Structure 1
Amino acid sequence: MNLIELTIIANTRAALANVKNVYQHGMGTGREEYLKNIYAFHALTKLGADDAGMSADGAKALHELEQEHAAAFVTALAQNPAAMAAIQDATA
């Protein structure tokens, strides 16, 4: 992977860590911060598409982060339904 791919992956990981923190602990008053991170996460993972120009390893890393997000989301729905409902209400 080249430097730009490593940077994209690092930024994607950072956004995911912030999103997962909200999933685990609730949003509190951080609606804008949550939205910034979830939108950044989704925008960055789109760079893993087949036609985006990422190397196979870079695309694989982004797909793995997407899977990690999906797992965290499902876990949060089961373990913290009140916080997840608040997130849905705040983003509607």
Structure 2
Amino acid sequence: MAGGWTRDGAVQDQIDASIDDTVKKARSLLPSGPSLTHCEECGTAIPEARQKAVPGVRLCVACQSVVDEEQKKVTGGINRRASKDSQLR
């Protein structure tokens, strides 16, 4: 792909770097450490199955859903249209 003043593959390198950054950010948001038995926010008991499924869990499903929705609003989600503008941020 011709990129004008850029070397061949520079656009793909930028896309790959953006993806790597997003993956690193997502991994940093994953809980770690021992799971809590009760939710940090509302105090309800966290089921044992959830504690085993998500190591380091700190919130119940309801509170985690609220946090996830708030994060979607801030980050805007993933652009699946693959528009050039979204790839070259």
Larger Rg: 2
Calculate the TM-score normalised by the size of structure 2: 0.32
Calculate the TM-score normalised by the size of structure 1: 0.31
Higher helix share: 1
